[in-house]
Structure 1
Amino acid sequence: MNKVKIGIIKEGKVPVDKRVPLTPKKCVEAMQEFPDAEVVVQPSDVRCFTDKEYEELNIPLQQDLNDCDVLMGVKEVPIDQLIPGKTYFFFSHTIKKQPHNAKLLRAILEKNIRMIDYELLTNAQGQRVVAFGRYAGIVGAYNGILTYGKKWDLFDLKPAYLCHEMEDMQEEYFKVKLPPIKIAVTGGGRVAGGAMEVLNKMGIRKVSVFDYLYKQFKEPVYAQLHSGDYNTRPDVEVWDSPDFYANPHLYQSTFRKFTRVTDLLLACAYWDPRAPKLFSEEDTRQPDFKIDTIADITCDVDGSIPTTTRSTTITEPAYDYNPESGKQEAAYSRKGNITIMAVDNLPCELPRNASRDFGRHIIDFVFPQFFNQDEGGMLERATIAKGGKLTERFSYLQDYVAAAVV
């Protein structure tokens, strides 16, 4: 590509997502750094940055985006809003054959659209370069602390979605006064990193896994747990991370040792359906099962956390799980229940901050590919559909598409 015109589309999915791929300042930065890039914005009354904020920085508002080369959104684009023949970037939620998006992918093929999925943008080492994970962790940890405080009538935090910016949310941290509880954070990626940012700023001390398991403290503490801390392969003595990720079905969970000492669990680890669950519903009925609050930040329904039987909403983020009956109950209805926070779109609670972070990734990793002939093949690897066909890497979606009726 030489000159590239990029259109920031209005989000059309319901419920509405207020995030944007590029904030007003990031639009300016992108055009300064890449003089052959032109960015225009489709007017929107729902996004977290207003039309006026774009106009004030001389970013053109343009309703008709037919003359754009590239169209960028966040969530899935409604079928009737797709412009044929264009290159689109958004989270398509199709690569796992999600049933509700089969029609969308079929329409993309029929409209000869090049579909590039943010989730698939990776560097040469296979690491994702564009993601909202950090903010999922930040909001998820905050919600977890909020939920624990509410369950035990310790403090009352303002919900993140009612805060204009993250700085407003951080003003709430001073209210947090916790007893000497133990908090487990699973995972080692962006999500866990975001969660630990919050705990650190709240003044909660990080301790080693050994100390977490075997020592008592006079203050609240947390430990970061990696896969090797709570999984084992019975026929292998030494932990081998590559083997675990290649053969998770050969492993057994040893998380039970953590359920005996943990009060609050912040689940931030990616979970492969072939891997063992952290614990069982039967485990929750054992007298020594101590966890009473879970923030399932990854929010895999019927996934690694068996008590996550449904996702929750931003405005009603929690429900109770009754270990005795195995049934859901109203949030905070009984102290003996396990209170679950399972919001599946956490970054939407701080859309302005999350959008700034996301735009940073777009400028650093995606924009250069427009002008270097996609050196390294980043865009090609992330392309699901092109020229009316599925790309070779995603040919396995053919039956998924064929079964869809548009």
Structure 2
Amino acid sequence: MSDRPHLWMRHEARPTERRAPLVPEDAATLVRQGVRITVEDSDQRAFPLADYAAAGCATAPAGSWTGAPGDAYVLGLKELPDGPAALHHRHIYFAHAYKGQAGADALLGRFTAGGGALLDLEYLTDDDGRRVAAFGYWAGYIGAALAVLHRRGRLTAPLVPTARPALDALLAADAADDDTRALVVGALGRSGRGACDALERAGLDPTRWDVAETRDLDRPALLAHDLMVNTVLTVRPVPPFLTPADLDEPARRLSLVSDVTCDVTSECNVLPVYDETTTWADPVRALRGGPAPLDLIAIDNLPSLLPVEASRAFSAELAPHLARLTDAAAPVEGWDPVWARALRLFETATAPLEEATRVR
């Protein structure tokens, strides 16, 4: 048996997901290295199936991952469909299941029921704890861009995917006449840098806050901005940046929040002023109306609005680590540390569920 992995890239169940975790060019490189790759057909992916076939990948119908060989790693991005109830494979995707999110226990229970495992893309980290592959830059860029377009009355719904030149042209169109006071929280991270770049493209000079500024938050200064872009991702509860009381503060100037992080329903949410994300169909929600309105943009798959650029950047970072996976049927001893850490995290998260099953 080859020690090279078998990757099975699934069709995304979410209708608005256009990205791919692995693009055809990087798939071709992996195939040349001996990695077996199967790609499901998808009528929404930004990259045609024919391009993967030309790269040497096998192809399969959409949704056929449930019957994939047991040694396959099922690769995706966003949430799995509701079935099957028991997950038998090792899955690689953004599961959002480790911070107390709604439905997390049910999802992890599906893995324990089927003997599968989750290798969460959000928790693939190097020895210093830094994520090895992320969509953060593009999430921040688009989150800030949508906020600017909304303030200028140029945001139309439903949102549709585009390319960066077209988006940048929209941002530059009214730059000379915009005096928006913008704040980026988490400005030194990937998402924060993307948000700052988009705001600068729009002719704005944003205030940049990071750990030092949020450790002792100047709430009146935050509320004195017109627009806030939140890009902070935390793995432990911290004091919130905004509370419902802040929204009713008479001196509040803040009129628009773009929450790139979207940690809604998590105990780590730094913006506990809303309980549901917004969508491509309805990208903006009013948190307050009347003479001092405050709107929210909180879309949890922002990079899919620039699917080609975002996918290529992410795939370039992820592909070298995919090449270091071993056959899923092989022992995990000696695994690449990036994958070993992700597996240990899954095992830690599911240990209470397995114990509860044994007790019953």
**TM-score class normalised by the smaller sequence:** 0.7 to 0.9
Cα pair 1:24 1:49 within 8 Å, conserved:
yes
Structure 2's unaligned 5+ residue stretches are none
**Is 1:294 aligned with 2:242?**
no
- Name the structure 2 match of 1:78: 81
- C-alpha distance 224-39 of structure 1, shift in aligned 2 (>3 A): same
Q: Assess if the C-alpha contact under 8 Å between 1:157 and 1:172 holds in 2.
A: no
The answer on 1:310 being equivalent to 2:276 is yes
Deviation at residue 382 of structure 1 after TM alignment: 0.3
Q: Within 5 Å, give how 1:189-268 maps onto structure 2.
A: 189-204=189-204, 221-232=205-216, 253-260=217-224, 262-268=225-231
Name the counterpart of 2:338: 378
* 2:99 matched residue in structure 1: 96
Match of 1:119 in 2: 122
Cα distance, 1:21 vs. partner? 1.4
Look up the match of 2:298: 342
1:256–1:279 Cα contact (<8 Å) kept: no
**When the two structures are aligned, how many residues end up with a matched partner?**
344
Higher mean displacement: 360-369 or 160-169: 160-169
Shift, 1:266, TM fit: 1.1
SS in 2 for 1:339: strand
Q: Residue type matched to 2:280 in 1?
A: I
Q: Matched residues in 2 for 1:91 and 1:379: separation?
A: 14
Indicate if the aligned counterparts of 2:108 and 2:350 stay in contact, CA closer than 8 A.
no
For residue 380 of structure 1, report the CA deviation from its aligned partner.
1.4
Q: 1:98 to 1:132 in 2, by over 3 A?
A: same
Does structure 2 conserve the Cα–Cα contact (< 8 Å) formed by 1:117 and 1:384?
no
Cα distance change, pair 25–183 in 1 and its aligned pair in 2 (3 A): same
User: Alignment partner for residue 61 of structure 1, among 50, 53, 59?
Assistant: 59
Q: Which amino acid aligns with 1:320?
A: A
1:275-309 per-position Cα deviation (integer Å, ceiling 9, x unaligned): 22224433343443211122122223374234434
Q: What's the CA shift string for 1:308-328, capped at 9, x where partnerless? A: 343211121112222xxxxxx
* 2:39 corresponds to: 41
Q: TM-score, normalised by structure 1?
A: 0.74
Q: Please say if residues 116 and 384 of structure 1, whose CA atoms lie closer than 8 Å, have aligned partners that are also in contact.
A: no
Distance 1:76 1:400 in 2: 26
Counterpart of 2:181?
Answer: 182
- The answer to whether the 8 A contact 1:3-1:37 is kept is yes
The 3 A distance-change label for structure 1 pair 310 and 69 is closer
Which shows bigger deviation, 272-281 or 288-297? Answer: 272-281
- 1:61, distance to aligned residue in structure 2 (A): 1.3
The residue aligned with 1:249 is: none
Q: Kindly indicate whether the alpha-carbon contact (under 8 Å) linking 1:308 and 1:342 is maintained by their aligned counterparts in 2.
A: no
Pairing 1:108–2:125 present = no
List alignment gaps of at least 5 residues for structure 1: 151-155, 205-220, 233-252, 323-328
Secondary structure of the 2:103 match is helix
Partner of 1:133: 136
Aligned partners of 2:89 and 2:116 also within 8 Å:
yes
| Alpha-carbon spacing, 1:298–1:335, altered in 2? closer, same or farther (3 Å) | farther
Give the whole-Å Cα distance in 2 for the aligned partners of 1:132 and 1:86.
Answer: 24
Q: 2:157·2:283 contact (CA, 8 Å) conserved in 1?
A: no
Distance (whole Å) between structure 2 residues aligned to residue 286 and residue 67 of structure 1? 56
Asked if 1:146 is matched to 2:149, the reply is yes
1: distance between equivalents of 2:115 and 2:86?
A: 9
Whether the 8 Å contact between 2:31 and 2:57 is mirrored in structure 1 is: no
Structure 2 CA distance for partners of 1:341 and 1:164, relative to 1, 3 Å: closer
Residues 67/259 of structure 1: CA separation in 2 closer, same or farther (3 Å cut): closer
In structure 2, C-alpha distance between the alignment counterparts of 1:87 and 1:149, rounded to whole Å: 45
Q: Deviation at 1:31? A: 2.5
Q: Residue 379 of structure 1: CA displacement?
A: 0.8
What SS does structure 2 have at the residue aligned with 1:61? strand
Q: Write out per-residue CA displacement over residues 145-190 of structure 1, whole angstroms, 9 at most, x where no aligned residue.
A: 012112xxxxx25679424322322232232334323211000211
Code of the aligned partner of 1:350 = L
Q: Secondary structure at the match of 2:339?
A: helix
User: What secondary structure does 1:340 align onto?
Assistant: strand
Structure 2 distance, partners of 1:190, 1:76, is 23
| Residue identity (%) | 21
Shift in CA distance, 69/395, structure 1 to aligned 2, threshold 3 Å? closer
TM (norm. structure 2) is: 0.83
> Does the residue aligned with 1:6 lie in a helix, a strand or coil?
strand
Q: Is the 8 A contact 2:16 2:304 kept in 1?
A: no
| Distance in 2 separating the partners of 1:52 and 1:274 | 45
- 1:27 corresponds to: 27
Matched residue SS, 1:52: helix
- Equivalent pair of 1:264/1:291 in contact (CA under 8 Å): yes
Residues 293/401 of structure 1: CA separation in 2 closer, same or farther (3 Å cut): farther
Please name the residue that 1:213 is paired with.
none
CA separation in 2, counterparts of 1:396 and 1:90?
20
Counterpart Cα distance in 1 of 2:85 and 2:11: 12
